[in-house]
């Protein structure tokens, strides 16, 4: 049994007939960093709030450290939480914000001081110690919120989109700090985010949700390389995976615009039952424009006209119409193309993902 165990957890709000969360099953190991990710309204925050005890669990069971927690008050669940809007106490100084919980828990004064000093130090808040939240920047406020969570020594850390109110640069540095903090403290962390980059970079395991249902659970690279369905494939990775509706004729893929590409026999064999076509997905970095790959796959060379480019600095995204949809290829910064250029490219057959057109589930190759 995992350290945190969710068994068939459902959430249904009054006056609605649809579940906000359906049959959520997850076993979280101690010290694991788990990210719940999905588009807004997918039930990730609701699930987190059920674990925290702020939302009632409609059905199913929640165990933390072996104890059933369904009816336990939030403060007795052994959790601390960081909120999206920080939820700092506006009339208290940084120091009081951090130590407030310890005081209520009747921790001896010298220990409160020691812990507060420690939190203030590792979060770099020394000079702001006696300031009130309104005199702090967003990043500093988020640090105070983190401080408030870490001083209590709880075994479980819940974070509800903690970085979504910060600017892009700060988000990257806070991402690092949270990862570091997690490694140092070793507390079990559940991190809710709609940003797949945060999930990919920080989590040991990611839970992807949509419409209240878990789509896939797994390590970041597992999800990236082996998405269980089209939704996961599209959600993880930026720019988004390209999807094409295709038909198969023996080993030949026929795109909507009648372009053709060859598949190796091993792959084609496993797809033969999809007589009415299927969905093929390929990531931008697996569309190659370099001479070497073009030479290796002469039979599957395609042509397209670039209609937009995104210069990222370290790499370039090239947009073009192909197979009836706008496609994107991710190429190195040395491969310069301009809008209007006709380029030749190949789609790497072993990097293609195939999805059932009805269920959108991945076809196992």
Cβ contacts of 179-185, under 8 Å, gap ≥ 24 = 179/33, 181/122, 181/146, 181/150, 182/33, 182/157, 184/122, 185/150, 185/157
**Smaller CB separation from another protein, 159 or 232:** 159
Tell which one of 89, 124, 126, 332 touches another protein (CB under 8 A): 89
Tokens of 211: 């419409």
CB of 54 to another protein, least distance (A): 5
**Smaller CB separation from another protein, 29 or 104:** 104
Tell which one of 58, 72, 84, 165 touches another protein (CB under 8 A): 84
Tell which one of 87, 213, 306, 325 touches another protein (CB under 8 A): 87
Tokens of 57: 């669990």
What DSSP string runs through 279-309? Answer: EEEE-GGGEE-SHHHHHHTGGG-EEEEEEEE
Task: State the greatest distance between any 2 C-alpha atoms of the chain, in Å, as a whole number.
Answer: 76
Q: Is 181 in the site for another protein (CB under 8 A)?
A: no
CB neighbour list of residue 105: distance below 8 Å, 6 or more residues apart = 152
d(CA 86, CA 56): 22
Q: Is 100 in the site for another protein (CB under 8 A)?
A: yes
Q: Helix 94-104 and helix 109-122: axis angle, to 10°?
A: 140
**Smaller CB separation from another protein, 100 or 118:** 100
Q: How many CB atoms are closer than 10 A to CB 290?
A: 13
Return the range that interacts with another protein (CB under 8 A); candidates 71-79, 232-240, 285-293, 305-313: 71-79
Q: How many CB atoms are closer than 10 A to CB 243?
A: 19
**Smaller CB separation from another protein, 75 or 221:** 75
**Smaller CB separation from another protein, 91 or 350:** 91
CB of 90 to another protein, least distance (A): 6
Q: Does an H or E element contain 174, and which?
A: helix 168-185
Return the range that interacts with another protein (CB under 8 A); candidates 80-88, 180-188, 218-226, 329-337: 80-88
**E strands within 111-212?**
156-160, 188-193, 205-210
Q: Is 135 in the site for another protein (CB under 8 A)?
A: no
d(CA 200, CA 236): 8
**Are the C-beta atoms of 260 and 244 separated by less than 8 Å?**
no
Tell which one of 8, 25, 29, 104 touches another protein (CB under 8 A): 104
CB of 336 to another protein, least distance (A): 48
Q: Is 62 in the site for another protein (CB under 8 A)?
A: no
What are the backbone dihedrals phi and psi of residue 203, each rounded to the nearest 5 degrees, phi first?
A: -85, 150
CB of 218 to another protein, least distance (A): 30
**Smaller CB separation from another protein, 146 or 200:** 146
Q: Is 83 in the site for another protein (CB under 8 A)?
A: yes
* Binding track over 143-162 against another protein, x by CB under 8 A: -----x---x----------
Tell which one of 22, 80, 189, 302 touches another protein (CB under 8 A): 80
**Are the C-beta atoms of 255 and 322 separated by less than 8 Å?**
yes
Q: Is 105 in the site for another protein (CB under 8 A)?
A: yes
**Smaller CB separation from another protein, 1 or 73:** 73
* Binding track over 26-55 against another protein, x by CB under 8 A: --------------------------x-x-
Tell which one of 1, 18, 73, 258 touches another protein (CB under 8 A): 73
Q: Is 109 in the site for another protein (CB under 8 A)?
A: no
Task: Give the residues across from 246 on adjacent strands.
Answer: 255, 278
What are the backbone dihedrals phi and psi of residue 305, each rounded to the nearest 5 degrees, phi first?
A: -105, 125
Tell which one of 41, 101, 234, 324 touches another protein (CB under 8 A): 101
Residues found near another protein in the complex (CB under 8 A): 52, 54, 73-75, 79-81, 83-85, 87-91, 100-101, 104-105, 148, 152
């Amino acid at each position: 049994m995992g350290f945190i165990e969710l068994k068939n957890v459902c959430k249904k709000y009054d006056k609605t007939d649809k579940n906000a969360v359906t049959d959520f099953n997850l076993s979280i190991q101690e010290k694991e960093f788990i990210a719940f990710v999905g588009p807004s309204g997918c039930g990730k925050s609701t699930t987190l709030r059920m674990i925290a005890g702020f939302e009632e669990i409609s059905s199913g069971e929640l165990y933390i450290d072996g104890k059933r927690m369904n009816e336990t008050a939030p403060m007795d669940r052994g959790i601390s939480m960081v909120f999206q809007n920080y939820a700092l106490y506006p009339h208290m100084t940084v120091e009081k914000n951090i130590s407030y919980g310890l005081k209520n828990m009747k921790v001896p004064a010298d220990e409160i001081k020691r812990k507060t000093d420690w939190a203030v130090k590792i979060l770099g808040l020394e000079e702001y110690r006696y300031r009130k939240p309104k005199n702090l920047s967003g990043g500093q406020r988020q640090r105070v919120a983190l401080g408030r969570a870490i001083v209590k020594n709880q075994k479980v850390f819940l974070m509800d989109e903690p970085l979504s109110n910060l600017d892009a640069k700060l988000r990257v540095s806070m991402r690092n700090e949270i990862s570091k903090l997690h490694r140092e403290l070793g507390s079990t962390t559940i991190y809710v985010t709609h940003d797949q980059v945060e999930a990919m970079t920080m989590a040991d395991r990611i839970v992807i949700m949509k419409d209240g249902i878990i789509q896939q659970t797994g390590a970041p690279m597992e999800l990236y390389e082996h998405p269980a369905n089209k939704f996961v494939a599209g959600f993880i990775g930026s720019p988004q995976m390209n999807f094409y509706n295709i038909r198969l004729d023996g080993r030949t893929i026929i795109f909507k615009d009648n372009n053709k590409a060859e598949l190796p026999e091993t792959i084609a064999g496993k797809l033969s039952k999809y007589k009415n076509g299927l969905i093929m997905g390929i990531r931008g970095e697996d569309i190659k424009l370099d001479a070497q790959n073009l030479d290796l796959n002469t039979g599957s060379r395609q042509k397209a006209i670039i209609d937009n480019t995104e210069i990222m600095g370290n790499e370039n995204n090239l947009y073009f119409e192909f197979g009836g949809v706008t496609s994107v290829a991710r190429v190195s910064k040395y491969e310069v193309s301009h809008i209007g250029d006709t380029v030749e490219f190949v789609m790497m057959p072993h990097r293609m993902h195939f999805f059932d057109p009805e269920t959108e589930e991945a076809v196992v190759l």
